[in-house]
A and B are shown apart, each in its own frame.
Chain A
């Protein structure tokens, strides 16, 4: 019944990320509010929002097609699966080899692909605006992400996140290339999640909207799923940074219940710290113009490429 246990752990992880994602967003919002000297809503507010949205009826635009209605489920599912494949508290889960880091990146890309399509389905200018900006941003963010994957994979000789985390845990010392990759990853994470300074998740001003413009026509349960997917994505990137660059506390393969518990605690801690840092970062910086974003992401791409090149050339490890 080893298999059952493994599947159980895997299931736990899936449910865990699903459960933690709104909380993380709530934390970030709370921290931001505090930093701005507001009281802010409760950290549980995202849960309440989701429940409320789920209960509401869906208002569909008249010419919305079936695609428009399917996309939220697809986006949610793809993001959820991707988030569940990133090691959170333990490595080497039974299905972790289903998809490596490249595939995870591509899964996120799939979600974005369908969301961008949905943005164009109703045929309003807002949707098209959001979609076209979104694909422009992703066309730089994705290669940057792939470069980061390269850099990590070259250090760890693997694109499997579990293996990478284990290698990192074993210690590879301080490396310039990895530092470059970390910076690039943070920049990509900011862009991917539509955070300040690339996008502002709480704006509805058409000149600056990206993600919000795309999903403007969504309402009710559809919107809830999309919001949840966005929260999962934030969680995913924080988990990713955590498991690759601060892998301490991760339960190794074959760890028992105590190891898992330690992993869970440390994971919670890392998320809390991450949320705080995100809030601090967003509070201290201003949103940039849309056409500054390519420069920002281009820098990320270059950093990633530089890190990879360094590794290729150094050839050690």
Chain B
């Protein structure tokens, strides 16, 4: 039990105090949420307060990225360690992401929360959840880190089961909290190893000084992948995510999918890049593999879902996969002596972290808006919303385009950087990596293309066409708060896409701290292009692509309207001779996915289609149904639960023994121990 001095190695800074104050304020808001949940003033108070706090904290974090690292020790937590806090560039980047995401969610909640029928189950936990995420990022010792981590899970679990009367939500919460606990235990083991290396010092500073070596380091990597990966949603530990994220209220879904998964990414980076010492050459391989698999499986699953929020949740898995591909490349480069390439890969990953936070929050807000307007999350009950909800439709279109990695939006910029990093990898010396990287690149390209298909399907079915249900036909545009939140995020997506150079530059302090090298400065490049390595090698200019495209489109429009025709006539659509076709005859979510389902999902997902034809002469309609499974459930979790159930059933017979048999157990234990004594000592 080494006594750690309660003095921090780093001096505190104003930024750190602001962040700490934000945590305290959020916790106070949580307490206030308990007290005021039933009052009409509760909602504006809590969400307004959270908005103010996160906005201040987020902006402060933005300025903290370039500031020197700060530290502090509070006399809390494990008594002889204390609670170590640290605000360095990496935590500042993530603090900015989560607080700005939190601010958007709070703004959205101001309006969205009005429709909540059980505010007392949401208001206390929302700020607590935000506080938990903030605390994870500030923690600089293993105990505070895990405490905050699990507190974050607990608060979000409470939010997942907030609407506990709806079918499946309680089960979703159950699966969630189990997987969260699994992850925490894995991280606990990892920290156990790290602390063992430093002789029982749970402070990160102590761990940094004595990083693990050899097999221990490998074990730490594995455990970090299990622990952080289960929270982030790496396959096959993702099963909770598509259940839990949709179950929560939509602004919380946005936080969980857009923001909390980033905290998991942060945890992985912190442990693997910061605490585990220099990586081994092969560390990138498992990370790359996990990322590639998550990317493809996630997006394929997303294509098979019929529930809007579940589509988004699976898409989160895909994006987490992309981020881990970036991280894996960074590890591989860093371990094999290419710090500049590592900086590129890490920048790409961090950039995508930021982008995905914005895009996914936006999309969940949109899905929430649709849910509020129509009361359903089923794509097959939607349609035509572009007419009824014009503002939501526009921002959702931006969100869908961004997440489908279409230039000139932000999703493309970060994926482009990852591709550039992939293209630097032939320099890597190891054969395993040489074979791995292009394969992962192919998986990533496949995932990107499928993501576009997925969001064409989501947007096309939900927003375009004709309404498939009365609810969709009667939808109303959502309130101004919700719209403002969505517009702000959409603007972020556009800006980050047009001016990626500034974002890349802003990330460099964090990158440099982790891999020892930074990317070349982008802010000063002519025309605001980004040039990751050299101009002759590759460059991209989102601003110009946008300008050219917009200009061309405008030019074409003006020219045509000026010189050719501008006449428009409305007429019924071509009906192939069957007038007044029912809106249900439109392509549905399932039918849109049919070609892809047939091509990709037959094997692993066991996608099956069944058509029940009525007998000849019967007037009943034919029924079509399709089914698919999640391989993680089929091959891992269901057998596991079955095994636990089996053993529990066997063990349960111990409940039905007679006193004599119980005595027999005591007797056997005694004899056994005596035998041990007789034979051993």
A/B contact in complex, CB under 8 angstroms: yes
Taking Cβ atoms with an 8 Å cutoff, the residues of A that contact B are 54-63, 65-67, 73-74, 76-78, 80-81, 84, 95, 97-100, 102-103, 106-107, 109-110, 112-113, 116-117, 119-129, 131-133, 135-136, 138-143, 146-147, 150, 153-154, 157-160, 163, 206, 216-217, 220-221, 225, 290-291, 294, 301, 304-305, 308-309, 311-313, 315
Closest beta carbon of chain B to A210's beta carbon, Å: 10
The reply to whether B553 and A107 contact each other, CB–CB distance below 8 Å, is no
The reply to whether B445 and A120 contact each other, CB–CB distance below 8 Å, is no
Contacts of A217 in B (CB 8 A): 573-574
Besides the known contacts A81-B548, A125-B587, A158-B536, 18 further A-B residue pairs in the complex with CB atoms under 8 A apart: A54-B565, A57-B567, A59-B569, A65-B464, A67-B393, A102-B419, A103-B545, A113-B455, A113-B456, A119-B460, A120-B587, A123-B465, A128-B587, A131-B456, A131-B587, A147-B445, A206-B576, A225-B560
A-B contact pairs, 26 of them (CB 8 A): A54-B560, A54-B564, A60-B568, A77-B550, A77-B553, A81-B545, A81-B552, A103-B407, A109-B452, A120-B587, A121-B464, A122-B465, A123-B573, A124-B573, A124-B575, A126-B574, A131-B456, A131-B460, A132-B591, A135-B457, A142-B448, A147-B438, A150-B423, A154-B423, A291-B595, A313-B435
The reply to whether B557 and A73 contact each other, CB–CB distance below 8 Å, is yes
* B window 393-414: CB within 8 A of A: 393, 397, 401, 404-407, 412
* B window 532-564: CB within 8 A of A: 535-541, 544-545, 548-554, 556-557, 560, 564
How far is A57 from B464 in the complex, measured between Cα atoms in Å?
A: 24
Query: Nearest 8 CB-CB pairs, A to B?
Result: A128-B587, A123-B465, A120-B460, A57-B567, A146-B445, A143-B445, A136-B595, A135-B453
How far is A171 from B450 in the complex, measured between Cα atoms in Å?
A: 36
Taking Cβ atoms with an 8 Å cutoff, the residues of B that contact A are 383-384, 386-387, 393, 397, 401, 404-407, 412, 416, 419-420, 422-423, 425-426, 431, 434-435, 437-439, 441-442, 445-446, 448-450, 452-453, 455-457, 459-461, 464-466, 529, 535-541, 544-545, 548-554, 556-557, 560, 564-565, 567-576, 581, 583, 585-587, 591-596, 598-599
How far is A201 from B591 in the complex, measured between Cα atoms in Å?
A: 24
The reply to whether B564 and A221 contact each other, CB–CB distance below 8 Å, is yes
Chain A residue with Cβ nearest B573 = A61
The reply to whether A139 and B449 contact each other, CB–CB distance below 8 Å, is yes
How far is A106 from B378 in the complex, measured between Cα atoms in Å?
A: 30
8 Å CB contact of A57 from B457, B548, B569, B581: B569
Given contacts A76-B553, A110-B401, A158-B537, contact A65 B581 (CB under 8 A): no
The reply to whether B536 and A160 contact each other, CB–CB distance below 8 Å, is yes
8 Å CB contact of B572 from A61, A103, A158, A311: A61
Chain A residue with Cβ nearest B405 = A106
Contacts of B550 in A (CB 8 A): 77
The reply to whether A116 and B442 contact each other, CB–CB distance below 8 Å, is no
The reply to whether A120 and B461 contact each other, CB–CB distance below 8 Å, is yes
The reply to whether B419 and A146 contact each other, CB–CB distance below 8 Å, is yes
Chain B residue with Cβ nearest A63 = B466
Chain B residue with Cβ nearest A51 = B564
The reply to whether A78 and B586 contact each other, CB–CB distance below 8 Å, is no
Given contacts A57-B567, A143-B445, contact A305 B465 (CB under 8 A): no
How far is A244 from B439 in the complex, measured between Cα atoms in Å?
A: 24
How far is A202 from B441 in the complex, measured between Cα atoms in Å?
A: 36
The reply to whether B599 and A62 contact each other, CB–CB distance below 8 Å, is no
Contacts of A106 in B (CB 8 A): 405-407, 412, 416
The reply to whether B464 and A117 contact each other, CB–CB distance below 8 Å, is yes
The reply to whether B386 and A65 contact each other, CB–CB distance below 8 Å, is yes
Given contacts A113-B452, A139-B453, A147-B442, contact A81 B565 (CB under 8 A): no
Given contacts A59-B571, A139-B446, A150-B423, contact A113 B406 (CB under 8 A): yes
Given contacts A59-B571, A103-B540, A113-B456, contact A220 B565 (CB under 8 A): yes
The reply to whether A159 and B553 contact each other, CB–CB distance below 8 Å, is no
Contacts of B407 in A (CB 8 A): 99, 103, 106-107, 110
Contacts of B446 in A (CB 8 A): 139-140, 143, 301
How far is A85 from B457 in the complex, measured between Cα atoms in Å?
A: 30
Contacts of B569 in A (CB 8 A): 57-60
Contacts of B406 in A (CB 8 A): 106, 109-110, 113
The reply to whether A123 and B583 contact each other, CB–CB distance below 8 Å, is yes
Chain A residue with Cβ nearest B387 = A65
Chain A residue with Cβ nearest B300 = A139
How far is A48 from B420 in the complex, measured between Cα atoms in Å?
A: 43
The reply to whether B460 and A67 contact each other, CB–CB distance below 8 Å, is no
8 Å CB contact of B553 from A54, A74, A100: A74
How far is A107 from B441 in the complex, measured between Cα atoms in Å?
A: 19
The reply to whether B441 and A146 contact each other, CB–CB distance below 8 Å, is yes
Contacts of A65 in B (CB 8 A): 386-387, 393, 464
Closest beta carbon of chain A to B464's beta carbon, Å: 4
Contacts of A290 in B (CB 8 A): 595
Closest beta carbon of chain B to A117's beta carbon, Å: 6
How far is A109 from B575 in the complex, measured between Cα atoms in Å?
A: 29
The reply to whether B556 and A225 contact each other, CB–CB distance below 8 Å, is yes
Given contacts A121-B464, A124-B586, A301-B442, contact A98 B529 (CB under 8 A): yes
Chain B interface, DSSP helix/strand/loop, else mixed: helix
The reply to whether B453 and A136 contact each other, CB–CB distance below 8 Å, is yes
Given contacts A81-B548, A102-B419, contact A62 B572 (CB under 8 A): yes
Q: Which of A56, A60, A107, A124 is packed against the most chain B CB atoms within 10 Å?
A: A124
The reply to whether B599 and A100 contact each other, CB–CB distance below 8 Å, is no
Given contacts A128-B591, A132-B595, A313-B434, contact A117 B456 (CB under 8 A): yes
Contacts of A98 in B (CB 8 A): 529, 539-541, 544-545, 548
How far is A153 from B537 in the complex, measured between Cα atoms in Å?
A: 9
Contacts of A97 in B (CB 8 A): 529, 535, 539, 541
The reply to whether B568 and A163 contact each other, CB–CB distance below 8 Å, is no
The reply to whether A132 and B594 contact each other, CB–CB distance below 8 Å, is yes
Given contacts A80-B552, A81-B549, contact A120 B452 (CB under 8 A): no
How far is A225 from B555 in the complex, measured between Cα atoms in Å?
A: 12
Contacts of A109 in B (CB 8 A): 404-406, 449, 452
Closest beta carbon of chain A to B520's beta carbon, Å: 15
Closest beta carbon of chain A to B596's beta carbon, Å: 5
Contacts of A157 in B (CB 8 A): 537
Chain B residue with Cβ nearest A107 = B407
How far is A119 from B253 in the complex, measured between Cα atoms in Å?
A: 30
How far is A107 from B552 in the complex, measured between Cα atoms in Å?
A: 14
The reply to whether B560 and A221 contact each other, CB–CB distance below 8 Å, is yes
Closest beta carbon of chain A to B70's beta carbon, Å: 39
Contacts of B438 in A (CB 8 A): 147, 150, 305, 308-309, 312
Closest beta carbon of chain A to B576's beta carbon, Å: 8
How far is A119 from B214 in the complex, measured between Cα atoms in Å?
A: 56
The reply to whether B583 and A221 contact each other, CB–CB distance below 8 Å, is no
Contacts of A291 in B (CB 8 A): 595, 598-599
8 Å CB contact of A56 from B412, B441, B565, B596: B565
Closest beta carbon of chain B to A163's beta carbon, Å: 5
Closest beta carbon of chain B to A13's beta carbon, Å: 12
Closest beta carbon of chain B to A127's beta carbon, Å: 7
Closest beta carbon of chain B to A173's beta carbon, Å: 18
How far is A61 from B553 in the complex, measured between Cα atoms in Å?
A: 22
The reply to whether A116 and B445 contact each other, CB–CB distance below 8 Å, is no
Contacts of B405 in A (CB 8 A): 106, 109
Given contacts A65-B386, A102-B416, A157-B537, contact A55 B592 (CB under 8 A): no
Chain A residue with Cβ nearest B597 = A136
Contacts of B585 in A (CB 8 A): 125
How far is A95 from B419 in the complex, measured between Cα atoms in Å?
A: 21
Given contacts A146-B445, A158-B536, A315-B426, contact A131 B434 (CB under 8 A): no
Contacts of B551 in A (CB 8 A): 77
Given contacts A146-B419, A315-B434, contact A63 B387 (CB under 8 A): yes
Contacts of B441 in A (CB 8 A): 146-147, 150, 308
The reply to whether A146 and B538 contact each other, CB–CB distance below 8 Å, is no
Chain B residue with Cβ nearest A120 = B460
Given contacts A113-B456, A139-B453, A140-B449, contact A73 B540 (CB under 8 A): no
